[in-house]
Each structure stands twice: as C-alpha cells, then as structure tokens.
Homo-oligomer: A and B are copies of this chain.
C-alpha cells in the first residue's frame, strides 16, 4: 500500500520531539515525510529539510505557506504532524484542518483555554481527523491495563496513584542560554500557564483517565516553583476526585534528582491492583486480591489481545518509547486510510483526540486555578 504523505510543522534541528515523531512515523512504514515547515525562520527550515532529504521546494518558511501550497498539489500532503511549542498548535492545526489535511498534533492541545476554544471549533468544523500524541497510551501494557479494567478485572476502581517525576530542571537550565527546551517550556507565553503540570502532569492525567476510563471531576493542586526566578511550576502535588467515587493523587516534578522520566501508574479496585512504570514498559504487575502478584509481560503468557494488537516483537524482546509512540502513528494511519475510504475506523476509540485534549487543558487550567486559591477544590 502506498505510504501516507506527511508534512511536519516544527521539529527542526535539535528539536527533541520532532525527531521522535519522524521515527514513530517511519517504524511501521505507513508514512513518508515529504514536506516541512520545520522552523519559524525560512532558511533554518530549508536547512533542516535538506538534512532530512526533503525536496527543497517543499521546505516552507511558514505553516500557512505549507498548508496553502501543499493543499493545491496533486501529490500534496495527506496529513501533517505539528511538533511546535504549544502556543503554535492551535493556529497551525486550524490551517491544515480547514484544508481537510489530517492533523497529528503534539500535546497539550494549546497553551491557553482561549486558544483551545478556537482549535476545538476548527476541529469540529473539519472532516479531517485530529489526533493528539498522548503517546504513553500507545504502550501495549497500557492498552492491556485499560482493557483489563474495562473487563472488570479490578472491580470498581477506588484509588489511582499516578506520578511523573523528572530531574532535568533541578537547576535553572533556562538561564544558561544553551537549552532551548528549558527556555520555551518555562516560558508561559509559549508553554502556557502550567509548567510541570502542562508538560508532564498532563501526560499523567491523560494516562490515568485512559487506563481507568474515568474522568477527573475535581482537583486540589499545590503547585511549586522551587527554582528561584522560574516563571512556571516545576513541581505539583494534586489530589484527584474521579467520577464515580474513585480518588487519586498525582505528583509531577522536574526537580526530583534521580528521576529520568518516571511516569508511573498504579490503580487499585475492589478486586485487584495494577502497577506500571514507563521506564520498564514491557511489564505490568497484576494482583488479584488474595492471590500472588503476577508479572504480565508484553507478548508473554498473560498478554491480552489489546496488548498484542500493538506489539511487534516476541516477549523478552523489549519494545520502548519509540514503539509506543509509533502505535499512535500506526493507529492514525489506519484511521486516515479508513477516512479516505469514507469510513470511521474503531481504532479512533483508542486514539487521543479533541476530547482528551480538552480534558487535558481543563486539567492544566484547574491546577493553576486551584493553586492560586491555596489548593482549593476546583471542578474541571
């Protein structure tokens, strides 16, 4: 089958997440990157594009130009990946959606609630698909956990513990002049009002909701900016109340020395418990109450269909972050091909989109508002 023609906005040289998206798009051979507005300055965009082997004629100086030109080419892009800082997500996505080009967008949805509303309108107005790369939902054992909970293996959910500690902002990396990542992610103009809650807390929130199938109704957030001069939170302690009575805690931090990318989820119900850690993603611990703990492994004896459907290698041959990310792209490809045939593929039920994005934005907004009121309960 021919590959889906893909464009990219953002993701020029030295951009971490752009390279990740490109690999994720390549792993299953479903996409071919053919155009890019890889940087906000035209020359840089061209340089980055050339380094990637793009046709110079399809290296654009702006996403507007790319959307316009590509939408008129017979061989124009069918989908676009948006991997810019958050405040660009909205306008960029809108530009492609209105031209019926499918959008795969990095999370969070946008930088502000106002931007979010505009984007939501654009998504609703378009026939094209909008997929948000909450990539951690792509891990096979996360799919398994979701399926097990939906099947009742844990009984009614009582307690959700989710955390996402990192340590890369333990010192004031944004002031050294050499760390672009640190700069934009701690700049509320580009990143949004949430610092750690926007960057990683939103992943933790999304993962907890995805796996449990529950929405957060209320939260109480105590946000901190431990590093002097930092303009956004770099650590957050959050109490959660889910619909239906489950309760939870969410901790995210960028100042926890020894934690690299410590996303970890534990869910406890009336009948059993599950534990999963992103850094060791091929394992899922399951304890039916009153029985020994079981180590479920990707493609191992206890793996279920939901996990196996997004797994490439046999048990014991570890898959990682890129494969999990690629599962979002593989799902997107499947949904895009169906859409091109005028159908809705059920894989869309598993892929984060507008709804998850809105929930995420409300989560970030609620965190910031709650913390401003000394951790008062705020309804999402």
Contacts and interface: CB of A to CB of B under 8 A. Distances in A.
B170 A23 contact: no
Given A296-B292, A297-B292, A377-B374, A27 B26 contact: yes
Nearest to A24: B27
A229 interface: no
Contacts of A2: 53
Given A258-B273, A260-B316, 6 more contacts: A27-B322, A166-B316, A170-B289, A257-B269, A279-B316, A312-B322
A27 to B, nearest CB: 6
A300 B292 contact: yes
Interface string A272-307: 110100111110011111111111110011100000
Nearest to A269: B257
A261 B29 CA distance: 26
A323 B16 CA distance: 17
A22 B27 CA distance: 9
A251 B249 contact: yes
A22 B289 CA distance: 31
A270 B226 CA distance: 9
Interface string A242-284: 0000011101010111111110001011111101001111100
Interface in A19-54: 19-20, 22-23, 26-29, 52-53
Nearest to A317: B321
A145 interface: no
B247 A316 contact: no
Size category, A interface:
35 or more
Given A237-B248, A375-B220, A295 B297 contact: no
Contact of A159 (B253, B293, B295, B320): B253
A346 interface: no
A320 to B, nearest CB: 4
A158 B254 CA distance: 12
Contacts of A294: 292-295
Given A2-B53, A239-B375, A317-B321, A272 B295 contact: no
A191 interface: no
A106 to B, nearest CB: 15
A192 B28 CA distance: 33
A255 B316 contact: no
